[in-house]
Amino acid sequence: MQARKKYVLLALCACCWLLLFYWGGVQVRLLKLLARQRGEEVRPWPDWVDRALLPAYVELEELQAGEGAGESPRQRRQAWAGIYKDSRCRMETCFDFSRCRGRDGFRVYVYPAEKGERVSESYRKILASIAESRYYTADPREACLFVLSIDTLDRDQLSAQFVPNVDERIRGYPLWNDGRNHLIFNLYSGTWPNYTEDLGFHIGQAILAKASLNVEHFRPSFDVSIPLFSKEHPQKGGERGWLVRNTVPPRRKYLLMFKGKRYLTGIGSDTRNALHHIHNGKDIVSLTTCRHGKDWEKHKDARCDHDNLEYERYDYQELLHNSTFCLVPRGRRLGSFRFLESLQAACIPVLLSNGWELPFSDVIQWNQAVIEGDERLLLQVPSTVRAVDNERVLALRQRTQMLWDAYFSSVDKIVLTTLEIIKDRVFSHISRNKFMWNALPGGLLVLPEYSTHLAHFPFYYLSQGISPGQEFTAVIHAVSPLVSQSQPIMKLLQVVSKSKYCSQIIILWNSEKPPPPRSKWPPMPVPLTITDGRRKTSSRFLPHVAIETDAVLSLDEDTVLLTSEVNFAFLVWRSFPERIVGYPPRSHFWDPVKQVWGYTSKWTNEYSIVLTGAAFYHRYYHHLFSQYLPPSLRALVDRTSNCEDILMNFLVSSVTHLPPIKVAQRKQYKDIPNLQGVKNAPWSNPEHFTQRQECVNAFASWFGYMPLVHSQFRLDPLLFKDQVSVLRKKYKDLERA
């Protein structure tokens, strides 16, 4: 009986469903028939929009027309598959790791330029960045990665920069091998009207470093998404971010702004045409102009004249400086110049570019720096940004500055970031983690060959809640033969070894004569090691295996210090482990007449250099000095036997963006003439000072800017010069005149 009731119930439900389907279908067909008779157009309501959110003045055609109109997702995928036949490429399947495991490791070879080759300014900068990097090799047999000399940046066939017949040319290269282990850079692809991602040649198994990459077409852990940058983007250095000038309050005059082109037809026009709906002329300024291109007047609509007038009322730079959020809608392609401009200006980017694979997405956590909107939900953007609290606004703005400075401020950094990401994939067992990429000073300055443990780097002590080690290693640079027990180095050994923080002393022997046996050196309470300096000035900053402590005390053989001075400087360094902390200060200045940088050794209140003849720093800087800096700078130091201390200051300041720290010194130290000098000392040579002037300019040229920072900050011992009991004073020896 129960089973019969169930069957009856199921039969009734089926009948009801059929009736609803039949009568509902008939009603829809009748409505369509009536609409056609009245001459009306039936417009289906889009399923991605809440009708209640749309004001009456929003036209549905404006919001419905989109990319690939008339094409199904399957058709788009099939078209893309025809362009990129190796869409399933991954490092494990399309990359030859064996080329990168030799003695030379990760090396990059750039094809020699052919005679009469046309190269754009942007591509010239990319090739120059590779050629000047520590990864460059002129021997293809050493190469792990290959880069074409053919300019592939602009693959728009209507562009003057377009290079034809790329397919035929690369197939003739004996090293091409269907693109295996090749890296191809591209900023623009496709052409009017669809602007597809067609490069006009078959990339095969090559890695694609491309701007405006679509998520659908991006090959994860293989391709690299790069930012769209202009031809004016600097080769090196680049401007600092603007947050230093606009720190407080976190919110600026305008809440949200955009100023740019309005596309009247074609791809990208749907988003740009709707931007005027959120403009209120008060805290939200969203301006577009029709006045661009040769034939804009042919497509001019009723709104163009008003939009053009409103557009001219505002200055773009003034809006950038005074806006909290910057709208970054897609252009003809997914990427936009507005993206990098917003990052630099500390104007939080609000992205309206559905499907865009953000630059360096493998390593950068973009949710900490941008707001990702939806092109289809434009009218929700104002309420979304209003809901962001002040604390998060400040955090987002600070992160834009970190990312801008670390990875985007120059072509050099964009290219090196691309190479480092690929290198991390090749050597995944020693790759950088996400924290290293997303915290100061950035992944380019954290070399995983040194360590992959955060506690081993000087930058992360504070964030990790740890302190540097409580001992130091003294490295004494010796250039004079040992002929007497009364030489300054003997007294220096006694002074340093008495420090309770000294773990060991290493003498870097850089004299023409061989070092004396251990019996000739005085007995000391700490181990003494004598190491061959190999007659190179820069050898004092090589990453010596014997150094096991975090702190290194670098000393010249004739340095005059007290044990209390050494102890005090070390305790100061433990509070500032990422900086150079020491005694002899120097400074740089700009000479407006000669238009060059100058160097001075005058004793003033201001300094920007602390000489490494008596200074503490973290041992990681030895590794960075020998691995990060190019061989050309180290060769300059060795050739002149000069400037290695200046170069180390340049390096540390470029990492920290901070000055070194000067600690207090006995007053008599600077009053005794030529206390550190001897007759044949390098600084007694008239050319010594001239060479240092030239070094400052050579180093600034390589870095692309002047990283040295001036300071008047000096740390003195507690109770220094106070009229209190001598027993209460920890560094009473420093008061003696």
Give DSSP secondary structure letters for 621-656. Answer: HHHHHHHTS-HHHHHHHHHHT--HHHHHHHHHHHHH
CA distance 279 to 286: 5
Compute how many other C-beta atoms are within 10 angstroms of the C-beta atom of residue 582.
27
Asked if residue 206 lies in contact with residue 219, where contact means CB atoms within 8 angstroms, the answer is no
CA distance 18 to 12: 10
Nearest to 325 by CA among 393, 245, 389, 404: 393
For the beta sheet containing 371-372, the strands, ordered from the edge strand earlier in sequence to the opposite edge, are 284-289, 254-261, 323-329, 348-352, 371-372
Asked if residue 500 lies in contact with residue 490, where contact means CB atoms within 8 angstroms, the answer is no
Helix (H) or strand (E) holding 551: strand 551-556
Nearest to 234 by CA among 148, 121, 141: 121
Would the CA dihedral through 251, 254, 255, 257 be positive or negative?
negative
Nearest to 77 by CA among 216, 194, 273: 216
Nearest to 381 by CA among 260, 255, 263, 254: 255
Give DSSP secondary structure letters for 318-386. Answer: HHHHTEEEEEEE--SSS--HHHHHHHHTT-EEEEE-TTB--TTTTT--GGGT-EE--GGGGGGHHHHHH
CA distance 703 to 237: 6
Asked if residue 421 lies in contact with residue 222, where contact means CB atoms within 8 angstroms, the answer is no
Given 104, 178, 645, 733, the catalytic residue: 645
- Residue found under tokens 């003045």: 57
- Residue found under tokens 């180290």: 634
Compute how many other C-beta atoms are within 10 angstroms of the C-beta atom of residue 443.
26
Residue type at 578 in one-letter notation = E
Residue type at 116 in one-letter notation = G
- What are the CA-CA distances from residue 555 to residues 186, 190, 309, 523, 559 (Å)? 49, 60, 67, 19, 7
- Tell me whether residue 532 is one of the annotated catalytic residues: no
Left if phi > 0, otherwise alpha if psi is -120 to 50, otherwise beta: which for 365?
Answer: beta
Asked if residue 489 lies in contact with residue 555, where contact means CB atoms within 8 angstroms, the answer is no
DSSP 8-state code for residue 560: -
Q: Two tokens at 278?
A: 């959120």
Q: Return the HEC string of 217-264.
A: CCCCCCCEECCCCCCCCCCCCCCCCCHHHCCCCCCCCEEEEEEEECCC
Q: Two tokens at 531?
A: 């190491």
Active site residues: 645
